[in-house]
Amino acid sequence: MLRPQDSATRERKSLNGLWAFRLDSAGAGRAEGWWRSRLDGSREMPVPASYNDIVPDLAVRDHVGDAWYQTSVRVPRHWTEERIVLRFDAATHRAVVWVNDVQVAEHEGGYTPFEADVTDHVEPGGEARVTIVVNNELTWASVPPGQLGEGPDGKRTQNYFHDFFNYAGLHRSVWLYATPKTRVSGITVDTGLDGGTGTVRYAVEHVGNASVQVALRDAAGAEVAISEGAEGVLTIADVHPWAPGDGYLYELEARLRDADGGLVDSYVLPVGVRTVEVRGTEFLINGEPFYFRGFGKHEDAPIRGKGHDDALMVHDFELMEWIGANSFRTSHYPYAEEVLDYADRHGIVVIDETAAVGLNARMTMFGRADAPSTYTEKTVGSETQRNHLEAVRELVVRDRNHPSVVLWCIANEPDGGVPEARDYFAPLFAEARKLDPTRPVGFVNIMMDGPDKCVLSELADVLMVNRYYGWYSQTGDLAAAEPVLEAELRAWADKHGKPIIITEYGADTLAGLHSVVDNPWSEEYQVDLLDMYHRVFDRIDAVVGEHIWNFADFATRPAIIRVDGNKKGVFTRDRRPKSAAFSVRRRWRKDL
């Protein structure tokens, strides 16, 4: 699905702003047809944003069920010959959309876009009512999973198995856009390097009768290659590769022409020419060993929750540059496409993750006698797997043209210690590889499934592991934690001979709490714990990356191990540095 853009033949109109909004715990709106008229009793709600923290009311913050958004849009009057499309960059976690009285779209999954051709339902020059019901319920079948329950007052309650707040709403932009009826409908590119020569293998899909021409321009706008036909290879002499720290982008323009040579459609795609390869225990970008320095992040901020915000995004990238990070993981869901565009332009490397977090009954219900096993038809079963497969597809299809993305992550900390895990995961790995044979595929391993236990690591090209020695075990005892960490990482290296990225390690830290002795929660303890991990990483050749958990403190639901959220950030939630930010910067910014 191509993103909306303004081009020689295309135009888009943002629907961002204040929408009418109404909660609907009882689910009455679907039966009563709330889309048929103006939303009664609504309040105003910003889009994009999570709705949860906008209103100072627990009933909004902890709402479970449907929430309705409505706006009206004036369709540009000159869109008379066009195909008109309504697109949501995300609606968390599922949605149904109406234009005026007609249902036009339905989508499952909170972090990938969807759209509807609404040409037949709107009038150029006229106004159209757009209504969307967004539902935030998580069940065993959804990705991520959760469990619905009932409180003593008969109210629906939501339990879930991931450690971040279940924000919901319209988190990303909404667009009305126009394309010609004969149009480019998809583009994929794979790039290669051979000495100083670069190649861009492309495939352009289109709808309607037209011939395809593809041109490639360099960053200065000079045309460097041109090709006729829907598929082909563009060759670039003296190529400027995309590389970590050097986000050099070419611009590929796909043009459709009619029989007289007239321009029918034009779509412009930024392209970075680079290669990715796993060889032995090395992770190679453009044939050079790459070492990941950075963070697991979240889309999370006060007030707006998971709503995309350009100011916050640019600030986060600036802080990452300040500290010397060269990469991050989109833990634990696909991020806004604006984030990947920025990473492309700035040479930041991305591990791109699906929303499959918390597929682990043993972990999440630890110690409970009634803990179900993870992979059953009543828990993570075939319906979950179908949704998960679709989540993998939507991620790869959405993001495969981004040079910044170098590795697909299918899930975070699933239960990988039981044989059923393989049956569940093997088709997901196969699908990712089928859709994109050019990138390695992995998943993130949980601490309790060590190298002798994990049955999934065989399937992965790269080992990604989250470890919390010195925090969740050996708490406060770094001297005890160090040898355990080292022994385990060595065991992984010996067993698989694959590159290892430590995708999470860290300590909850309350900014402003200081201690002269190793004292968990203090700023000094975070510094010391990270130092200890770094010493170990430097002793093991197979370790090719360190992603600290987390870039910044983030919201979680209330829990006795959480003080106003998860505090493992190197920055606070409002992006102030803790002491660790400076010590990490000294390690990562050797140039200073």
Residues 395-434: x where in contact with ligand BDP by CB under 6 A, - otherwise, as a string = -----------------xx---------------------
Which of 274, 279, 253, 280 is CA-nearest to residue 265? 253
Cis peptide before 315 (omega within 30 of 0): no
Shortest Cβ 361–ligand BDP spacing (Å): 14
Residue 504 interacts with ligand BDP (CB under 6 A)? yes
Residue 92 interacts with ligand BDP (CB under 6 A)? no
257 - beta bridge partners? Answer: 211, 263
Q: Which of 253, 431, 482, 504 is catalytic?
A: 504
User: Would you say 365 or 397 has its CB closer to ligand BDP?
Assistant: 365
Q: What is the distance between the alpha carbons of residues 86 and 76, in angstroms, rounded to a whole number?
A: 13
The sign of the torsion formed by the CA atoms of 467, 376, 27, 86 equals positive
- Residue from 402, 566, 569, 580 binding ligand BDP (CB under 6 A): 566
User: Would you say 63 or 567 has its CB closer to ligand BDP?
Assistant: 567
HSE at residue 51, side-chain half, CA atoms within 13 A, is 31
Shortest Cβ 503–ligand BDP spacing (Å): 8
Shortest Cβ 60–ligand BDP spacing (Å): 24
User: Would you say 418 or 447 has its CB closer to ligand BDP?
Assistant: 447
Residue 394 interacts with ligand BDP (CB under 6 A)? no
> Is there a catalytic annotation at residue 288?
no
User: Would you say 347 or 451 has its CB closer to ligand BDP?
Assistant: 451
Q: What is the distance between the alpha carbons of residues 482 and 533, in angstroms, rounded to a whole number?
A: 7
- Residue from 398, 467, 568, 573 binding ligand BDP (CB under 6 A): 568
Q: What is the distance between the alpha carbons of residues 359 and 384, in angstroms, rounded to a whole number?
A: 9
Tokens linked to 43: 């309040």
Strands (E) in 62-196, as ranges, are: 66-74, 83-88, 94-99, 102-108, 114-117, 127-135, 146-150, 156-160, 169-170, 174-179, 183-194
Whether the CB-CB separation of 354 and 388 falls below 8 Å is answered with yes
Q: Where in 514-553 is the site for ligand BDP (CB under 6 A)?
A: 549
> Is there a catalytic annotation at residue 504?
yes
Give the residue carrying structure tokens 């020689």. 8
User: Would you say 98 or 443 has its CB closer to ligand BDP?
Assistant: 443
Which of 411, 294, 399, 301 is CA-nearest to residue 359? 411
User: Would you say 108 or 413 has its CB closer to ligand BDP?
Assistant: 413
C-alpha to C-alpha distances, 553 to 164, 301, 562, nearest whole angstrom? 10, 9, 11
Amino acid at 72: S
Q: What are phi and psi of 103, to 5 degrees?
A: -70, 125
Residues 441-480: x where in contact with ligand BDP by CB under 6 A, - otherwise, as a string = -------------------------x--------------
Q: Which of 394, 413, 482, 546 is catalytic?
A: 413
Shortest Cβ 549–ligand BDP spacing (Å): 6
Give the residue carrying structure tokens 């149904």. 96
User: Would you say 24 or 504 has its CB closer to ligand BDP?
Assistant: 504
Shortest Cβ 446–ligand BDP spacing (Å): 6
Give the residue nearest to ligand BDP (CB). Answer: 163
Q: Where in 137-176 is the site for ligand BDP (CB under 6 A)?
A: 163
By annotation, the residues acting in catalysis are 413, 504
User: Which residues are near ligand BDP by CB under 6 A?
Assistant: 163, 332, 412-413, 466, 504, 549, 566, 568
